[in-house]
Structure 1
Amino acid sequence: MPTQPLAAPPATVLHLVQPVDGGVARVVADLVRAQRAAGLRAVVGCPPAGILPDAARAAGAEVHVWRAGRAPGPGLAAEVIGARSLLRRVRPDLLHAHSAKAGLAGRLAARGTVPTVFQPHAWSFDAVGGATGALALRWERYAARWADRVLCVSEAERLAGEAEGIAARWSVVRNGVDLDHFRPDGPDPDRERAAARARLPLPEALRGDGPLAVCVGRICPQKGQDVLLRAWPQLLGRVPAARLALVGDGPDADRLRTTAPAGVHFAGAAPDIRPWLRAADLVVLPSRWEGMALAPLEAMACGRPVLVSDVSGARESLPPGQGRLCLVPAEDPTALAKALGRLLAEPRLLAELGEQARQHARTDFDVRRTTDAVTGLYHELLGRPRPSNQERISR
């Protein structure tokens, strides 16, 4: 009898990641879970702190320690050496570098010797100004030669890179969320909201009947909570009973807590943000820059309307027609206060926007579509067909 050809070993993907919290960590965990189900070997190299190591292991990845700081600095040489060592140990078929630091160290370590995907998750030169920002842009222009594909999470992110002179081979795959995990908790939004609030650790002063806005995200300059806190006293002139919860932690938390106006609650980091989203009348994210933020997508999947600053990915996130009400200029507390006041004063409008948001998320932001597109990109770059269902089962 003729011998059967041996099946090709599963392709190995090395995800090199810094940061290890927030949206990037959730994106990587979702990718790993889908790639393991698709028959790939997924390996994650990241710092040992944060939520990512445990989340990646739970999703089926091998996890290796890669020591790297979040910001550029004198440790870069050691970070590149560590990335190069990881490449030698893992021997991946493809390197997927996530965010600026991993994109910097990973591309310097690989230099085109292995097929490489770089995913900015928001451009580094948007995060810093002056000489540092100019240097970051020069690097991105130069290092595009060492990426077989620059993977953007929104068309706006791609256009921003192109406008700055980055000559890359581009792909755009929009972020998605787990629609089985992020969903309404019942058919009646009002009852769901009341039940969620009753279970949350809100201080007594915030347990009234007034509308509740929720901001979910790392408390740092990027997410713009300081802009929101400057807007809040202006809003109270129009909606005196409004309350605000900031869900998350970060380097600016202590400083902002000491100057926060009345009616603001710092909830800290939450292992599960769904109760906060379901408790909200409105979810707000006044970011200074993004690629495509996950928190608004998660809120919409839970049936909550969102108010976001007009940065990369924001317009693409919103349901058609909501930009007029639900987008504000970045770093403009007066415009933010006016938009908050207009929305929080109209419960019926919020309910209508929330239902539109839920339907939009279910139609356009299923994480399975996102992960399938990224896995398809890997197979394209590797020149391998996707494994059949039977091959996946046999592995």
Structure 2
Amino acid sequence: MKISHYFELESHVTGGIHESVVHQRKMLDRLDLTYTTEPTLEADVFHCNLMGPRSVWYARQARSKGVPVVANTHVTAEDFGDSFRFTNTLAKPLKPYLEWAYGLADALVCPSEYNQDLIETYTETPTTVVSNGVDRSKLAGFESLEDEYRERYDLESPTVFLVGHVIKRKGLKTFVELARRLPDLDFAWFGPLDLSLKGRETTALIENAPDNCTFTGYVDDIRGAYAAGDVFCFPTHEENEGIALLEAMAAGKPVLVRDIETFSWLEDGKDCLKVSEAGVDGFEAALERLRDPELRAQLGSNAAARSEEFSLEAVANQYQSLYEEVV
């Protein structure tokens, strides 16, 4: 079986979508499946990861030639807003476009049950939930970088941290306000800033953050983030799954999340701590609890154990089954 595993705009798209594609290709290597990253209909399956105009063109051609089309639903209108400049404006017309584009596929891959529920309001195309997975090999040896990264960014334990693009949707306002309310704790957000792509409100939040809130920008070795951070605080308002969350769990870090539907699979008090309040108070109270090193250790250990079901080894066979089904 040969797969055309296409990622439109591959050299430009970063963040979770890029990581998901990297994970998929590692899984294809593990399965020993033949694949090309070029778009071609000389394949048994055309698999696209971003439904841009070129992917749509190939998907339409594939359907006319009887080549089954598989598409990942990384992008939703709900997830698109509050990200970069102009994304709120584009989110509204994006939904009807995606309804049409996802409807061209024979099978859709959704990273979570929450995402699946959303996509089933877009199209009647059959959906399958397959996690983006977590690449444990990517984290190997992260502990050895603790001293280097704490010194580089002047961080003291316990450090509250987050990993990923700095965007409003991921709870930027909450993160900054928490740092302001808890000045004796260090807060660090590891990930690209891309200020030229941010709206005025996002830029103001970053530039006016208190001294104990560090935005590192791009880091050359993301393992350093998991080495220097002690509590993964993820107050995101909307998420399709959250690869950084899975990585933090795999690294044995206690996680604090907003109680949104995406994270319904996490058990509060066992796998993580959840905050249901709309404001900052609940997060502040939870961080006060997480000053306790014993609680951090217990939640981190539970998180690491729970993350095992999302390893690439555990997820890979789901792609094998899906390809066989559509063929």
Same fold (TM over 0.5): yes
Secondary structure in 2 matching 1:142: helix
The answer to which of 305-314 and 285-294 deviates more is 305-314
Deviation of 1:377 after TM superposition, in Å, equals: 0.9
Q: CA 1:36/1:130 → structure 2, altered by over 3 Å: closer, same or farther?
A: closer
**Aligned partner of 1:158 among 105, 116, 127:** 116
Per the alignment, residue 305 of structure 2 pairs with 359
**Aligned partner of 2:31 among 35, 38, 46:** 38
1:229 lines up with 2:176 in the alignment: yes
Structure of greater relative contact order (alpha carbons < 8 Å, 6+ residues apart) = 2
For 2:218, give the aligned amino acid.
Answer: A
Deviation of 1:123 after TM superposition, in Å, equals: 1.4
Matches within 5 A, 1:1-395: 10-18=1-9, 20-45=13-38, 86-87=39-40, 91-99=42-50, 101-102=51-52, 105-111=54-60, 112-113=63-64, 114-128=67-81, 132-162=90-120, 164-182=121-139, 196-200=145-149, 202=151, 206-208=154-156, 210-234=157-181, 236=182, 240-252=183-195, 255=203, 256-311=205-260, 313-316=262-265, 318=266, 320-322=267-269, 326-329=273-276, 332-343=279-290, 345-362=291-308, 364-382=309-327
1:143-202 per-residue CA deviation (whole Å, 9 max, x = no partner) reads: 34311111101111111222x3532211011221123443676xxxxxx5xx64322154
| RMSD over aligned Cα atoms | 2.9
Q: Distance in 2 between matches of 1:262 and 1:21?
A: 28
Q: CA 1:354/1:232 → structure 2, altered by over 3 Å: closer, same or farther?
A: same
For 1:275, give the aligned amino acid.
Answer: G
How many pairs does the alignment contain?
310
1:249-289 per-residue CA deviation (whole Å, 9 max, x = no partner) reads: 13348934421112122222123222321322201222232
Structure 2 unaligned blocks of 5 or more: 82-86
Q: Distance in 2 between matches of 1:175 and 1:131?
A: 28
Larger Rg: 1
Q: CA 1:369/1:201 → structure 2, altered by over 3 Å: closer, same or farther?
A: same
Q: Distance in 2 between matches of 1:21 and 1:134?
A: 23
TM-score when scaled to structure 2?
A: 0.82
Q: Distance in 2 between matches of 1:183 and 1:306?
A: 20
Deviation of 1:293 after TM superposition, in Å, equals: 0.6
Q: Distance in 2 between matches of 1:130 and 1:33?
A: 33
Identity %: 25
Secondary structure in 2 matching 1:287: coil
Q: CA 1:230/1:207 → structure 2, altered by over 3 Å: closer, same or farther?
A: closer
Per the alignment, residue 67 of structure 1 pairs with none
Q: Distance in 2 between matches of 1:155 and 1:170?
A: 10
